[in-house]
Structure 1
Amino acid sequence: MSGAAVRIGVLFGGPSAEHEVSCASALGVARALAERGHQVVALGIDRDGTLRLVPEPVLAGHLASVAAGRAIDDRLPVTGPPVELRRGSRAGTVAVTAADAPASRYVELDVAFPVLHGPYGEDGVVQGLLESLGVPYVGCGILSSAVGMDKVAMKRALRAEGVPTTPHVWFDAATWRAAEDPEKLVVGLRWPLFVKPARMGSSIGISRVAEGDDLVAAVEEALRHDQVVLVEQGVTGRELECGVLGGWRPEASAVGEVRVTGGWFDYRQKYFGDADPMIVPAQLPAEITERIRELSVRAFTAIGGWGLARVDFLYDETAGEVFVNELNTLPGFTAHSMYPKVWAASGVDYPEVVDRLVALAFARHAARPGVRPAGGAA
């Protein structure tokens, strides 16, 4: 950005199963924004959906604390008085008001930075709220957030643009309940299979099913989190990840690799492990690295992305094939997350990443139809 400090509302928590991860990511973002000189306002959302203004002394204490060993242990608390968001007194701002006395304004925000993983925060819901309030906000818009969150819609968008994805099928709860032979729903896929809720992140609700394992139990677990289930053919290969940052001309980062145990990178390894499973940059042939970076930008463009995304890949070294596994339009932002690491390896440190994201939020807002550029003609 130009160096001017702005007042930024960091939205975190939420009712999804990724509540704790969001609180951890939010602290990382808040620290980086504060390091760049911005005024941070922390807005936590309870699991029941209540928005709370985190008191300044509480926020300041956490910003000054030493990072904990495990990512999940280092997080902002959702605490403080209930508040509401309303249109600000100036165009392009949003007011934080007392929930029981809307005329009482605590502060006005110049931009919102949603750090809400999973449903209600990453799927277009909060983006729609922020659009209705007319405030700039960081990250993908309503449509690209919704498509990125829905693994079935995402794969359709990628295939339409010729981006390679893993073989898969999907079905809804009603189809599953009516099936006389559940395995007929996955005919044509080679085992092992990965069974996933269509709209969930952080590996929640995902099961790896080898031949002889209980497919029914895996699908029922996925249905606990969504009414639509995606079943993917397992690919024996390396798990690689690449960050995308930008707007009309997005850029791809260095490529990182996740070394996993137990066959795949599950929720416990991501957030509760003591060892760091990430290798940045990944040791790959130059042509594979460039292929992944090129596909990352194509995938981001295919869903209409803006701001940021992390693109996850499976690389079958034997066949020389690369598949996009999924996009995450709001990747983890903890001190141990891959997205900040791959950009750091590209020469862009964490504070600069969040600063660029704020600048991109203002750029998109200014480019909306009917908006008069500052100092420009109609």
Structure 2
Amino acid sequence: MNNKLTVAVMFGGQSSEHDVSCVSGVTIMKALDREKYDVLLIGITKDGRWLLADSIEDVESGAWRESRIQAIISPDAQDHGLILFEDGRSRKQRVDVLFPVLHGMYGEDGTIQGLFEMAQIPYVGCGVLASSVSMDKWYTKIVVDDLNIRQAKYVPISHIDMRNIDGCVAKVEAALPYPVFVKPSKAGSSVGVNKASDREELVAALNEALRHDIHILVEEAIVGREIECAVLGGYEPKASDVGEVLSAEDFYTFDAKYNNQESRTDLHPVFPEGKLEEVRADAVKIFKALDGFGCARVDFFMEKGTNEIVFNEINTMPGFTSISMYPMLWNEKGLDNGALADEMIRLAFERYVR
């Protein structure tokens, strides 16, 4: 009798973080104990096809995109989970839990979580509300405004506002001094994020951000240390210690994160007395306020000169690459990647216990 859980690891996706998700997915696939789990590998292509990958090697090489086996969530998912299609034939596939290692839009934003909820299949990570609000930096700020936690001053701009670009520039300049950071409201891994030091750069940055989202956030520049905290848990979440990002560039861009070997992380930074505890407490407070459940990485600045802690953003499905802070912080607390994956799966089932 097979008592192993069947886990479907989902990776790829339709966002600008597709490639990062594939790398994160491989980390989880390798971490899962085959004595405990039967593992299915479900890749989502950039055009939205769900395909069954044959092996981890196919995921690493990209050959999974040529798979002839397509998958969909079953309308009768409580019985088996997936339906697989190949050469005009279909078969049912049992799934006990879904592990969506998906970053960005259509994976981390509540959309796919809603599908899982409708299918009533347990899944790893935050639910619909936390995923959708946390993905949108604009609405995250609205929630955090009520928590008495400092965050960067900001000016929200919509695609409708952008019909009058001069008005947008005037609105920003009236509220914030240069330099400012311009971000798509719903993008991750610093995609579409730019620093603007004058009006010309601001216009260019606004137009670039609009390519990625209909909502834009313009923030004051916080000069200081970039620090991150990992949160894990359900109704009583816990925070890890804090890591520091040492970017090789002016700020932590996509290239600085994934392509510049000079960027580093410090898992044992030295902080002024009480600041570590403040960051950990704020991370949990923000996670709970956003209805978080399962996991998240919460990012902050420590402002130069004042040492004040300033909330930056939250990621509800943080990266699991070799350079990702989230797993490294929990590794430091004694949870290797296998134990971390086990706990994340356990929490997926805890969500359904009331």
Percentage of pairs with the same residue: 37
Q: Determine which of 283, 287, 306 is the counterpart of 2:293.
A: 306
**2:123 is aligned with 1:123:** no
Which residues in structure 2 correspond to 1:47-62 (within 5 Å)? 47-55=46-54, 58-59=55-56, 61=57
Cα deviation, 1:322-365, whole Å, max 9, x if unaligned, reads 11100000111112211001111122222111110100000102
Cα deviation, 1:277-330, whole Å, max 9, x if unaligned, reads 111022212411110000000010110000000000011141121111000001
Q: Measured at CA, do residues 74 and 323 of structure 1 come closer, stay the same or move farther in structure 2, by a change above 3 Å?
A: farther
Give the 3-state SS of the residue equivalent to 1:199 in structure 2. Answer: coil
Per the TM alignment, residue 260 of structure 1 is displaced from its structure 2 partner at its CA by: 1.2
Q: Measured at CA, do residues 157 and 74 of structure 1 come closer, stay the same or move farther in structure 2, by a change above 3 Å?
A: farther
Distance 1:288 1:315 in 2: 9
In the other structure, the counterpart of 2:27 is 28
Q: Measured at CA, do residues 219 and 180 of structure 1 come closer, stay the same or move farther in structure 2, by a change above 3 Å?
A: closer
**2:351 is aligned with 1:364:** yes
**2:195 is aligned with 1:196:** no
Q: Measured at CA, do residues 179 and 270 of structure 1 come closer, stay the same or move farther in structure 2, by a change above 3 Å?
A: closer
Distance 2:117 2:95 in 1: 14
Q: Measured at CA, do residues 83 and 218 of structure 1 come closer, stay the same or move farther in structure 2, by a change above 3 Å?
A: same
**Counterpart AA for 1:33:** L
Q: 4+ residue runs of structure 1 moved beyond 6 angstroms? A: 73-76
Contact 1:9/1:43 (<8 A) preserved: yes
In the other structure, the counterpart of 2:141 is 155
Contact 2:78/2:119 (<8 A) preserved: no
Per the TM alignment, residue 212 of structure 1 is displaced from its structure 2 partner at its CA by: 5.9
In the other structure, the counterpart of 2:156 is 170
**2:201 is aligned with 1:214:** yes
Cα deviation, 1:11-34, whole Å, max 9, x if unaligned, reads 111111111011011000111113
Distance 2:273 2:65 in 1: 44
Contact 1:168/1:230 (<8 A) preserved: yes
**2:341 is aligned with 1:354:** yes
Contact 1:34/1:40 (<8 A) preserved: no
**2:83 is aligned with 1:84:** no
**Counterpart AA for 2:81:** V
Distance 1:148 1:84 in 2: 26
Q: Measured at CA, do residues 248 and 177 of structure 1 come closer, stay the same or move farther in structure 2, by a change above 3 Å?
A: same
Distance 1:353 1:137 in 2: 15
**2:216 is aligned with 1:226:** no
Give the 3-state SS of the residue equivalent to 1:229 in structure 2. Answer: strand
Unaligned 5+ segments in structure 1 are 64-72, 368-378
Per the TM alignment, residue 88 of structure 1 is displaced from its structure 2 partner at its CA by: 5.3
Distance 2:74 2:252 in 1: 40
Contact 2:165/2:203 (<8 A) preserved: no
Contact 2:78/2:121 (<8 A) preserved: no
Q: Measured at CA, do residues 101 and 359 of structure 1 come closer, stay the same or move farther in structure 2, by a change above 3 Å?
A: farther
Q: Measured at CA, do residues 262 and 212 of structure 1 come closer, stay the same or move farther in structure 2, by a change above 3 Å?
A: farther
Contact 1:13/1:78 (<8 A) preserved: no
Which residues in structure 2 correspond to 1:64-143 (within 5 Å)? 77-80=64-67, 81-87=69-75, 90-91=78-79, 93-98=80-85, 101=88, 103-105=90-92, 107-143=93-129
Cα deviation, 1:184-228, whole Å, max 9, x if unaligned, reads 121221221110000010100000112365110000000000011
**Counterpart AA for 2:252:** F
Give the 3-state SS of the residue equivalent to 2:10 in structure 1. Answer: strand
Unaligned 5+ segments in structure 2 are none
Residue-pair matches, total: 350
Per the TM alignment, residue 165 of structure 1 is displaced from its structure 2 partner at its CA by: 1.1
Per the TM alignment, residue 183 of structure 1 is displaced from its structure 2 partner at its CA by: 2.4
Contact 1:27/1:74 (<8 A) preserved: no
Contact 2:229/2:243 (<8 A) preserved: yes
**Counterpart AA for 2:52:** L
Cα deviation, 1:216-252, whole Å, max 9, x if unaligned, reads 0000000000011000100110000000000000000
In the other structure, the counterpart of 1:17 is 16
Q: Measured at CA, do residues 35 and 323 of structure 1 come closer, stay the same or move farther in structure 2, by a change above 3 Å?
A: farther
**Counterpart AA for 1:42:** L
Cα deviation, 1:112-142, whole Å, max 9, x if unaligned, reads 0111111000000100111111100000001
Q: Give the alignment's Cα RMSD to 1 decimal.
A: 2.1
What is the TM-score normalised by the length of structure 1? 0.87
Distance 1:223 1:148 in 2: 19
In the other structure, the counterpart of 1:247 is 234
**2:243 is aligned with 1:256:** yes
**Which segment is superposed worse, 30-39 or 14-23?**
30-39
Cα deviation, 1:32-66, whole Å, max 9, x if unaligned, reads 113673221100011110100112xx33x469xxx
Contact 1:311/1:327 (<8 A) preserved: yes
